[in-house]
Amino acid sequence: MSSLQSSPRSAPRSRRRPVLRLVLVALGAVLVFLLGIAFARTLDDRPSTGADQTIVRTLTPRPQEAPGRTVTVTVTAQNP
């Protein structure tokens, strides 16, 4: 046998690689597609926040009573 002749095993291997690569790319595309669907469903399933609501209440003041006792405190400053 001469070293220039190719072995019979190398020919089928070179045909399988493009097919295997095509199958892997197709599986990857299907996986990305399914992940996209799962992500979209997750966004649809989350609860809606609803619109903002503003409530206006007017509070009436409570009537104040006169104090019972008044105290006056006187403070003188001391010089040191």
pLDDT tens digits for range 3-13: 555 555 555 55
Left if phi > 0, otherwise alpha if psi is -120 to 50, otherwise beta: which for 50? left
What is the value of pTM for the model shown?
Answer: 0.41
pLDDT tens profile 29-72: 999 999 999 999 988 877 777 778 889 999 999 998 888 888 89
Long-range contacts of range 6-12, CB-CB < 8 Å, 24 or more positions apart? Answer: none
CA-CA-CA-CA torsion for 56, 60, 62, 63, nearest 10 degrees? Answer: 170
